[in-house]
Amino acid sequence: MTEPCDGATNMAVDEALFRGRQAGTSPPTLRCFAWDPPAVSLGYGQPLDEHVDAGACRALGVGIVRRPTGGSAIYHDGPERELTYCVTASADDLGGVTDLLGTYHWIASALCRALRDLGAPVEIVAIPAGAGPTPAFCFARTGRYELEITGRKIVGSAQRRQGACFLQHGSIMLGADEPRLRALFPTTADPLATMTTLEAALGRRPTWDECAERLAAAFEAEHGLVLRPGGLDPDETAMVERLVQERYGTGRWLAGVP
């Protein structure tokens, strides 16, 4: 496990890997990470409004960051309760899977294998039941090729695509702090009504390391991959620093101004 990072740094790392994959200088990557301090991440086009209580975030020591990927807000509660994954790759890396839903399904099959290996009875949702406006809280509704346990969402994912390359984020819920979720998302009547956790499904909370190991093994087994541990090279590290200073660490970016 790499050391948890603040929200701006985590998002900058993922964009640096994405840009590197587009340029052919970074390999296809599966990254599992955690957050310190905990943070709410907003989707790329999501407004920062009353649906996320910025005052409660400040009072609780919770950061706020805007992702480069779409979707709705997620609370990342540190490695005790949540694992975030990121996949950066191209269509060629996936054997020619070129479309958005095909990519979601490719990743979902590995996620499903990992959580079933942990003992969780997860199912991939091919056709969601929900409709209507996109909710502000990511786990309020399940999207195509996301994962549920007995009708409740266990993993939330979002993607960004440019040309043949993509960056996908996802959040795997190990546990949940219900009072904190209610405080951070005051307009979501019951955050736990539509979501669940591995702790609830298994009767125990798996560790971050256990979940990350299962996830890596599942990607290898499901797709015939060989994953190799690695870190950022000097060019990627320099790009991360620039992106924090110029984008993810700025109030302008958080406000939704490109």
- The residues annotated as belonging to the active site are 138
R_g (Cα) of the chain, nearest Å: 17
**Bridge partners of residue 168, in order along the sequence:** 87, 159
The residue written with tokens 């019951």 in the block is: 190
Residue 173: half-sphere exposure toward Cβ, Cα within 13 Å:
31
Q: Burial letters for 21-58: b for 16+ Cβ neighbours within 10 Å, e otherwise? A: bbeeebebbbbbbbbbebbbbbbeebeeeebbbeebbe
3-state class (DSSP) for residue 103: helix
**Bridge partners of residue 155, in order along the sequence:** 147, 172
3-state class (DSSP) for residue 45: coil
110, 215 contact by CB (below 8 A): yes
Alpha-helix runs per DSSP H in 62-144? 100-118
91's CB contacts (< 8 A; 6+ apart) are: 97, 98, 164, 165
**Bridge partners of residue 160, in order along the sequence:** 167
Q: Does residue 37 have a cis bond before it (omega within 30 degrees)?
A: yes
Q: How far is CA 3 from the centre of its chain?
A: 17
